[in-house]
Amino acid sequence: MSRIKLAILGQGRSGRDIHAANLSLLKDLYEIVAVVDPLPDRRERAAAEIGCATYADYRELLGRKDIEAVRALADKYNRDSAPFGVTAQAQANAPDGGGCFGSFSQFYMTCYGDIDPCDFNPVSFGNVRNAPLAEIWKKMVSHPEFCGHRMSCRMQSQRYRRMYIDPLTDDEVLPVLIDRLPGDGTILPKEEVAAK
Ligand code: SF4
């Protein structure tokens, strides 16, 4: 069976430590032929570790004909009734894709019981140790920012990040309760929210 040729965008925590690390364990199925990262030291590291081509800009990939679309890979796994479905990020953001699942058809529960829209979004709507899940879900899908189906990734939206992510300082314990984030680019002190 010929291996599926893949490119990985980004060589940070997710791109290198999760995607490249896991795909490297499946060398009989996948071949990482390129990575993209704007940081030169990450590109050098990827070239040494993976031995693939590196690019600073994803647009440079467009000239390569050998890279099989991640979207096609996800479609194949879903169509062929694989043991589990696969969704590529490209599928969430594509014009004909499924959009963002967070607070639409999924939530994410941390190991501490916090309920977030997804594992990338460090905003919590409550904790199952303090409130029923149904109540927390209702709070999430009633929130003006999280009700309705968004057709692109919130965490990749500059507008969303300005409103809800940029106010998070390094010393905050994540996820942060949504009540502390009024959506105007500020964060309220814990005490102020607790007193309400
Ligand atoms: S915010 Fe982005 S990463 Fe999270 S579920 Fe939506 S599309 Fe996926």
Residue-wise pLDDT for 40-52, tens only, equals 999 999 999 999 9
Query: Atom of ligand 1 at shortest distance to CA of 150?
Result: 6
Degrees (nearest 5) of the Cα angle 185, 101, 70? Answer: 110
Q: What is the mean pLDDT of residues 98-125?
A: 92
174 CA → ligand 1 middle, Å: 17
Quick one: average pLDDT of 61-68?
73
Q: What is the model's pLDDT at position 75?
A: 67
Question: Which whole number is the average pLDDT over 125-131?
Answer: 96
| Residue 24 predicted with pLDDT over 90 | no
pLDDT above 90 covers what percent of the chain?
49
Residue closest via CA to ligand 1's atom 6 equals: 100
15 lines ligand 1 (CB under 6 A): no
pTM: 0.64
3-state secondary structure the chain: CCCEEEEEECCCHHHHHHHHHHHHCCCCCEEEEEEECCCHHHHHHHHHHHCCEEECCHHHHHHCCCCCCHHHHHHHHHHCCCCCCCCCHHHHHCCCCCCCCECCCECEECCCCEEECCCCCCEECCECCCCCHHHHHHHHHHCCCCCCCCCCCHHHCHHHHHHHHCCCCCCCCCCEEHHHCCCCCCCCCHHHHHCC
- Residue nearest atom 2 in ligand 1 by C-alpha distance: 153
